[in-house]
Chain A
Amino acid sequence: MSDLTLAELDRDGALLDPLAALQGSSRAEFLSRAALGGGALLGALLAPIPAEAKPSHKQDVAILNFALSLEYLQDSFYTEVERMGGFRGPLGEQARTVAAHERAHVVALRDVLGGKAVKRGRYDFRGATESRDAFRRTAVAFEDLAVAAYKGQAPRIANTGYLVAALGLHTVEARHAAWIRRLAGKTPAENAFDEPRSAKSTLGVVASTKFVLQTRSRRSPRFTG
């Protein structure tokens, strides 16, 4: 985490927009609290969510967008695995099945959010979609993270209907987690109790993977001139 820099974070808003909304500020305000350095930015990420962030429709939208950003990440990851077609047997079956689920999750969240849905980010999975070992490790991390992240936001959802739907997504993510843990040789259900994870902690984990690309910096890809 100590090498976290702004350049490693998504600047298209795939993750920061939802996080800023959760903190009750605009993305620009959120970023303005951080100098353009790793330590300062990390400090901003670790700032507590204000107490006034009470359940509300606005916060529900922010939470759904936060969920959408995680679903984008998973959808992109598994879809790339499926497109590469490199895994056969149980691992390939898991990737194909979960990819189809994650795509359905993305469509559902985009539909309910309509024009308020955040855009999909750009990702570089750095070979994790091509190596069986790297895929297993990454998929376990993603699924465990998604399960904990949903749990972290569920109590803050104001709309009961959204909460019920979110729980439906959460339990499917938990099934994914158990499935890939089994394939990775890990105990599917390690503990008797699962801890929730906050949005900022979730973002920190995602940022540490360096899978989310920054696309507006001078170092970003430039295919036009």
Chain B
Amino acid sequence: MALARDDGSDARERAAAHVSVPDLGPAPFPGFKVGDPIPLGSGRFESRWAKVRVTTVARAAPRRGARAVARLSARTPEETTNLVLALSRVEDGRGRLWVRARLPVLPAGTTGWVRRSALGGYGVVTTRLVVDRRALRATLLRDGHPVFRAPVGVGTPSAPTPRGEFYVRNKLTDYRSPFYGPVAFGTSARSPTLTDWPAGGFVGIHGTNQPALLPGRVSHGCVRLRNADIRRLARLMPVGTPLTIR
């Protein structure tokens, strides 16, 4: 480079004499280009869930001897893969990871610490379903924006739909019952009054064969939608979606 800066013919000749490089042509063009690095979104509306890989015990604190809060099995009562909503995590003094999870147990809103090794890979959703018991309306949010609204039926005063934070555990289509319509979602919410129902009275979100009753306070705690609405919701709402009932 110093020779080039001299900008004199003598210098160029000296360079040519010392560096004999054939013309190798220009640098080749790549067949495709890679764009700029792609930053991750804010993650503000993301929720994370994980399947329960093996039966485990959720504990009140992230340590082996802490009080047991609930037993989590790998399957739901509907024989689908069980899952939990992952809220946070810590590493204990021995380097073991623990995940604080929302649990499908009573009372509503219960959380517990589960060993990370008992859970599978994380799934991420950016959806949230909000059921407003007063307005009798369900709203599905995606990235914070409403993408679905529908009138609903909720529990009667004697069997109220529970209020709180829950999540969608599964989507069921393989049954033949006009009462539940074409699709039913299982949730982590449980009826506070009908605990003697099969499997413990989990709250579902499903269709109906009595659409004229909607909107209204007509169910045993489940959230009922018209069949066209539940079909539309089924296309929009993945399992693992957080559910707010207020």
Interface residues of A (CB under 8 A from B): 79-80, 82-86, 96-97, 99-101, 103-105, 107-109, 111-112, 122-127, 130-131, 133, 159-165, 168-169, 213, 221-225
Q: Does B130 contact A (CB under 8 A)?
A: no
Other-chain residue from A107, A108, A131, A159 in contact with B91 (beta carbon distance below 8 A): A131
Interface contact A164-B30, CB-CB below 8 Å: yes
State whether the Cβ of B95 lies closer than 8 Å to any Cβ in chain A: yes
Interface residues of B in 87-104 (CB under 8 A from A): 89, 91, 95, 97
Size category of the B interface is 35 or more
The reply to whether B120 and A124 contact each other, CB–CB distance below 8 Å, is yes
Cβ–Cβ contact B122 & A161, under 8 A:
no
Please give me the 7 A-B residue pairs with the lowest Cβ-Cβ distance, nearest first.
Answer: A161-B31, A124-B121, A100-B37, A165-B30, A103-B38, A112-B32, A108-B34
Asked if residues A165 and B170 are in contact (CB atoms below 8 Å), the reply is no
Docked Cα-Cα span, A105 to B35, in Å, equals: 8
Most buried by A among B29, B34, B89: B34
B149 close to chain A: CB less than 8 A: no
Q: How far is the CB of B199 from chain A (nearest CB, A)?
A: 13
Q: Is the CB of A101 within 8 A of B37?
A: yes
- Asked if B124 and A97 sit within 8 Å, CB to CB, the answer is no
The DSSP consensus for interface residues of chain A is helix
Q: Which residues of chain B from 17 to 70 have a CB within 8 Å of any chain A CB? A: 28-40, 43, 46, 48, 51
Contacts A83-B48, A161-B28 hold; do A225 and B78 have CB atoms under 8 A apart?
yes
Please determine whether A112 and B40 come into contact, CB atoms closer than 8 angstroms.
no
Question: Are B31 and A112 neighbours in the complex by a CB distance under 8 Å?
Answer: yes
A82, A83, A99, A112: residue with the most chain B Cβ atoms closer than 10 Å: A83
User: Are A127 and B116 neighbours in the complex by a CB distance under 8 Å?
Assistant: yes
Contacts of B30 in A (CB 8 A): 161, 164-165, 168
Q: Which residues of the other chain, A, contact B80 by a CB distance below 8 angstroms?
A: 222-225
Residues in B neighbouring A127, C-beta threshold 8 A = 97, 116-117
Minimum C-beta distance from B82 to chain A (A):
10
Question: B28–A162 contact, CB under 8 A?
Answer: no
Q: In the assembled complex, which residues on chain B have CB atoms less than 8 Å from the CB atom of A126?
A: 116-117, 121
Is A104's CB under 8 angstroms from B36's CB? yes
Q: Is the CB of B37 within 8 A of A108?
A: no
Q: Which residue of B lies closest to A213 (CB)?
A: B121
Query: Which residues of chain B are near A79, meaning CB under 8 Å?
Result: 40
A96: chain B residues at CB < 8 Å are: 40
Q: Least Cβ distance of A26 to chain B in Å?
A: 26
The answer on a CB contact under 8 Å between B48 and A105 is no
A169–B122 Cα gap in the complex (Å)? Answer: 28
Main secondary structure, interface of B, reads: loop
| Shortest beta-carbon distance from B207 to chain A in Å | 15
Quick one: given A130-B91, A131-B91, A224-B80, are A165 and B31 in contact (CB under 8 Å)? Answer: yes
Tell which of A123, A161, A225 touches B172, judged by Cβ atoms closer than 8 Å.
A225
| A112 contacts across to B, CB distance below 8 A | 31-32
A107-B35, A225-B80 are contacts. A99–B89 as well, Cβ < 8 Å? no
B97 contact set on A, CB distance < 8 A: 127, 130-131
Contact flags B157-199 to A (C-beta < 8 A → 1, else 0): 0000000000001111111000000000000000000000000
A164 touches B29 (CB 8 A): yes
Partner of A165, one of B34, B120, B169, B173: B34
Q: Which of B31, B40, B83, B173 lies at the interface centre, i.e. has the most chain A CB atoms within 10 A of its CB? A: B31
Binary interface encoding of chain B residues 206-240 relative to chain A, with 1 for a CB under 8 A from any of its CBs, else 0: 00000000000000000000000000000000010
| A80 to B46 Cα, complex, angstroms | 12
Also in contact, A111 and B32, with CB within 8 A (given A127-B117, A221-B120)? yes
Residues of B within 8 A of A97 (CB): 37
What residues of B have a CB within 8 angstroms of the CB of A109 in the complex? 32
Bound-state Cα–Cα, A107 to B95, Å: 35
Contacts of B174 in A (CB 8 A): 224-225
B170 contact from A86, A169, A224, Cβ within 8 A: A224
Complex Cα–Cα for A193 and B32 (A): 28
B81 at the interface (CB under 8 A from A): yes
**Chain B residues with CB below 8 A from A108, complex form:** 32-35
Indicate whether B10 reaches chain A with its CB closer than 8 angstroms: no
| CB of B53 to closest CB in A, whole Å | 8
CB neighbours of B7 from chain A (8 A): none
Contacting residues, chain A, for B35 (C-beta < 8 A): 104, 107-108
